Structures are given as structure tokens and as C-alpha cells.
Structure 1
């Protein structure tokens, strides 16, 4: 099918609102800057309640989810609602603005249903943006490989089979797209979530955030089960009560379903006075915390999901020139290299020891921070990834339409 007029894209994302979702917003603004008309369908969120707005030339349509999912039933309700609203709003975007391409960002691996409908009925193209490996995410959340895990694998395969082109956030995800998803490797483009330095600005420290202590360890991210905040708090307990270090404060930035539970755990461990939980905050407060931090930490649990995933927080720490401590995970090493120390997997004591090791060695901290900053500036910033996104779209528009054959399913 030939495309006439201005190229137009509909991006569908379920787990975060735009423009809060940085990867999606960077993709959308890059496409818009290169002549594409862009619309986004996403949920509402704190500070992003408007059902429609136009920002920087991008049309954003939002819907309200019935709940923040927790448990199998909660996810079933959330994803069913998201699929319904995404389908409904896709028709609205089609009639108001038109689109050639549906660019679907998981989770969940159900959005191919919307893509397949418009692809096979109206000849639209479908691009799958692989943010999370959902079978591994399910296993990380629920600790089992059962019927629902196998269902996730099947839905993932259907998603890849429907896609004309897919985008992977790293090489591990590309291997899954090709191996488990059956994608042609030439149609899988690795586009990393590189940070934008105009957002992640190096700012003066705010000493008050250290709560009168000498050092600050910073964290930014989701407060959820697989993020390992419980392990981090156990590390804090070891630092304070076993090592007798009362000169370290911990600033944890981010919200999530486990936030209140983690606050309670900090009290139970006797470290509440040493930890600041900010919840979800504006960028300025996030930047103040991270710029003040002497060391940044990533306690993501060592499991199949996290081992194969590139964490945005690692890139953000490096962009701000901060040395890192994290558990020893494959893609964590690929991203940070010499900007990080690597603790034994899921070992809160080793995590604590390595944080203190860095805090007590200012020269090493400076060297590691500079290495990470230079790596972002010269290799990992979004400006190096944007051409890969545009190349994926060129392939999408130039390739002949695909036919989904029964034996591919």
C-alpha cells in the first residue's frame, strides 16, 4: 500500500501518561521534528488529568483506568479497560487526524489486537515497541511459570507476528524478538532509552537533603516488588546498625504500589530516620536529589526480567556523573561498565559494603562518575538513538505490506 501526504503515527502506551513517560515522549518529539504527525493514546496520571491536549505539536488523548493493578484480577481489569479505551480512542484519532502507523508500546502484550484490526481491515502498518518482557515480568511478580506465563508467551509471539517492524531496547530484547517471537532479525531495530542532557542537567547540590549527615545515597525509580527496595532497606539497616555508620542518608525518589509498604518496612527495620521517601515528584526535585547524591544505587532484584532489561535509572545516574552500585546483572553491566560497582546478586550485605566502599573513596567516585558521564555524552545520549528510530520507520514505510499467515500463529 502506498502512503500519500504527511506521514502520521498513532502511539499507544498503557502503563504511564505522556509526556511523563520519557522514552515515549522522546520518540514522539523525534518523529514530530522529522516531519511526522503524531498522536498518543495513554492513561491519565497525577498532573496529567486532561483527556485531550496538544503539547509541542503532538496530540495526546488520555483515558482513566479503573485502578492501579495489583494481583491477577487487578491486572485483568486494568488491561481490559486499557484495550477498550485504546480501541475507542484510536477511531477518534483516525477520524480527526488520520494515521498510517500504530506504534504500540507494551506492557501489556494485548495492544496487537488494536494494531491487527487496523492493519488487516484498513491497511495500516504496525510497529511494536518492546519495553518489557512480559512473561519474565509475570514470573518476577508472581514467582511461577503456570498457565498464565504460557499465555504471556503466546500473546508475545502473536504481537511479534503481527508487527511489520519491532523496536528492542537492547540486544537481549532483540534476541527474544528473533528467538521466541520469530521476528526476522532485519526487521528488529535496537533503540536504547538514551537520556536527553537538556533534561538531566547537572545542578548544584542541595545540602539540606542530606538531613545533616555527611553522605547521601540516591535512588530514582518505581517502588514495586521487582525493584528490590526491600533489599535496599536491608542494606540501609546493615549500614546503620551493623557497621555503625550514622553519617549516611538515603533519598528514594519515586512512587508505586509498594511505596507505603516500604515506608512501613523502613520503620520495622529501625531506619526510617535515615531514609527519605519523596514519592513521585517533579523533575526539579528529582534532579536536586540525584545531583546531591554522592553515590546512586540500583537494587533491582536479580531475575530473568531485570537481567535482560536496560534500566532508565542507570542512564540517568550516568548522565549526572554519579558513581553507581547495583547487583550484577547482564544489561546493567552493558550500560554502566566502569561507572558501577557490582554487588553479589540479591545480597543486601554486599550491596551495603560496596556503597560504603565508594563513599569512603572520593577519588574513585570522581573517576567512575566522569567515566559514566563521558559514556552518555559520547555514546548513549538520545541523539545517538534517534537515527535508529527513524531508520526503523523508513523500513516500515518502504517495505511491502505483510500478510499474516495461519501457520505463523
Structure 2
């Protein structure tokens, strides 16, 4: 089956998120699906973007500003109307502003319209508006207007115009169904991994904590907004019960202020020598480093934005054969419970420390969980498996819309 998807994206191009870069750029392309990407350029120039799975139409370089936002909306709308004729499916990911143009192109060219929801952007706009303090009336009005328009487009227009809606998790599907979306139109596509990146034997690199330490690992970004000091509080409390415990952070602060804040917090809590920060590194090096830890930690603050998410962190730990201690975000809870490869607990210091103690004291449980982890990802949460599900959705959509 050879088909072409005209795909407008919110993220700058070339795509970097695995559920686009790997899913569409590799596995779906191997199944005969090409994609014509529409969006902004990540680089600061408009030089041609390499996308081996199809074509690319760039509206501008990435950046903020009312004029640029309006200009990009017009040009990308034009791309959807112009190239919709040559596509089999018109698909938009997280670009609420492009809903009218996508629907019109779908109507004019008689092509199915697919919308992909990877993040609750409307709720994000609402929180941004509500969090304004001391802002001018004009700015407050602009944020309020953005939220109100996005809310109307998303919750009133989208359910009536989209033929198929991909959502990030079963929790997001339930939430959107409660807001009037048809369950029959929605299909959950949780985050996964590219197994080929985890299949090669990885050499254990030298670490400052290469001794008899029990090493906790955290993969990803550190920031105040993510309440990342929770990791340090867990380590501090756990070190009172497990003397040889250490924390390896594979990543770093999101901004320079976050990086400074993290190191200050380590010093303030007296955790020097118990925390190692790798800094940002190529993905394969990060995976190699991750494979050296004993238990992966995945604390994600509960709330309107994250409760419907599909966290990648737990799946990446499991793909390395590392048991995960994570909190009860619905999709993460599903992964940990179904895999029997970790412990899911509330996001409190006491709960995380108790779970870590259980795994530290039972090496046989750790080994069993490690085996379960790899088996689960191999059979469920990898993009080879996920691509089959997506491919079938497109096939069914085209057969119904003929």
C-alpha cells in the first residue's frame, strides 16, 4: 500500500520527537507511507531540510512574535490547500490554528482529515492565561483570546470535521470522550522506543560511581517546573537507609538557570559525591550510560497537563532491562503494572524510598523485573509494533472514506 500523508506539525523541522522521526521516518515509510511535512525550520536559515521519508515545505524559521505567527499560519494554510490535492490523507499535529485550512482542504479535495493530539494545548493555553500575574491588560486579553479561540476550534470544530483523531494515551481518549469526542474516531498511540537502538550490546562506561554502589538513574531534563528537586529529596531520604546509594542524572537542566539551580540544590542538601550529572550527550551514549544503573526513577507531577500524557522515560528504562520506580500517571501506571517490571507508587518521598528499599533488598526481584522489562517492550511499546497499529488505522480510514 503506497500512500502519501500531508502532515502539518507544531514542532520545528526536521522532526526530532521519536513518534514522528522514527515512526513516520522509518517504520511507516518502510510500509510504503510517505509524508510531506509542513512547518517551521529549526535552523536559523531556510536551507533545504533532509527528510528521507518524503517532502518538506517550510514556512519560516522557528521563533515567536505576532507577525511571524500570523504569517506562518497563512503560508502553512496555503500549503495545506495547495498540496492537499496530491495527498491521500491530510494530517495536522497540535496545530489548532490550522484546523480551518485542513478541514477546507479535506473538503475541497475529498480527502480524509486526521488530527494528532500529543499534548493538551488548550489546557496549556488556559494555564498560561491564568498564571499571568502583574501583566498588562493587553497581554492578559491576548492570552485569554488565544485560549478562548483554541478552546472553540478544538472542542467544537474538531469533533465535527476530523475523520480520525490520534491521541497520546487511553487516559487522553477517556478525557476527550467526556468532552464530546466520539470514541470510535479516536485511537491511542502511546510513546514507545526504537528497539534497534536498544538491541546492540552496550559496554558499561566508566562512572564516578563505579563501585559497589546501588545506582539510581534518571534520564532527561531537569527543571524547577518539573519539580526535579524531588529526585534529590528521594536520594537524601534513601541514603539514610542505604549507605551505598547514588544517583546518576543522564541529562541536565533545561536552561542555564536550571543547571545552576540543580547544582546549588545538591550542595545545599549535602549530596556532593552522591550525584553524578552526565550533561547532554548523543542518544546512543545516553542509552549506554543508562544501562549501567540498577533502578530508573520516573517522577512526573500529577495535573491536568501530565495526567493524559504518555511518558517515554519508563519505557526507555524497561527497554534497557532496568526496573522502574514511577508514580501513578495513568499511562505510566499501565506500563509498570502490565510489564511487572517496576513499582508504581504515589509521588511522595516516602513512597519512592520504600519502593527503592524493596528492590534493593531483593536482588532476585530485580533480575525477574529486568527480564520482564525487555519482554514487555519487545512485545508492546516499540515503534515496529506501534507502526502496525497505525498502518491498520490508515487502511481502515481510506476504505471507509472511499
TM tier relative to shorter chain: 0.7 to 0.9
Moved more, 287-296 or 112-121: 112-121
Cα deviation code 1:116-166 (max 9, x no counterpart): 343345544321112112345457778879957666543431334332211
Aligned counterpart, 1:31: 28
State the partner residue of 2:243: 245
Paired residues for 1:392-403 under 5 Å: 392-400=393-401
Aligned residue pair count: 382
Change in Cα spacing, 1:9 to 1:317, as seen in structure 2 (3 Å) is same
1:343 is matched with 345
The answer to whether residue 17 in structure 2 is matched with residue 21 in structure 1 is yes
Partner in structure 2 of residue 175 of structure 1 = 174
Shift of 1:231: 1.4
Partner of 2:103: 116
Distance of 2:307 and 2:168 partners within structure 1: 13
SS at match of 1:250: strand
RMSD: 3.6
* 1:286 Cα deviation from its structure 2 partner: 1.5
Query: Following the alignment from structure 2 to structure 1, what is the Cα–Cα distance between the partners of residues 334 and 226?
Result: 19
| C-alpha distance in structure 1 between counterparts of 2:289 and 2:7, whole Å | 32
Q: Which residue of 1 aligns with 2:198?
A: 200
**Correspondence 1:19-168 to 2 at 5 A:** 19-28=15-24, 29-45=26-42, 51-61=47-57, 63-66=60-63, 77=65, 81=68, 84-85=71-72, 87-89=74-76, 91=78, 94=82, 98-106=86-94, 109-137=96-124, 153-157=151-155, 158-168=157-167
Q: Secondary structure at the match of 1:248?
A: strand
Structure 1: unaligned runs, 5 residues or longer: 68-76, 402-409
Deviation at 1:246, TM superposition (A): 4.9
Aligned counterparts of 2:193 and 2:268: Cα–Cα separation in 1: 36
- Does residue 327 (structure 1) correspond to residue 315 (structure 2)? The answer is no
Contact residue 294 and residue 322 of structure 1 kept, 8 A: yes
Preserved contact between residue 238 and residue 245 of structure 2 (Cα < 8 Å): no
CA contact (8 A) 1:230 1:262 kept: yes
5+ residue gaps, structure 2, are 133-142
Deviations 1:353-389 (A, max 9, x none): 4234323432221111211211111233323222221
Deviations 1:259-318 (A, max 9, x none): 424344334333354334444431122111211111111010122333332211111111
Do the aligned partners of residues 179 and 244 (structure 1) sit closer, same or farther apart at CA in structure 2, a change above 3 Å counting? closer
Do the aligned partners of 2:322 and 2:373 also contact (CA within 8 Å) in 1? yes
Q: Secondary structure at the match of 2:218?
A: strand
> Structure 2 length normalisation: TM-score?
0.80
8 Å CA contact 1:27, 1:389 repeated in 2:
no
How does the TM-score come out when normalised to structure 1?
0.79
Q: Is the 8 A contact 1:295 1:322 kept in 2?
A: yes
Match of 1:235 in 2: 234
Deviates more, 1:331-340 or 1:380-389: 380-389
Q: CA–CA distance in 2 between the matches of 1:122 and 1:105?
A: 20
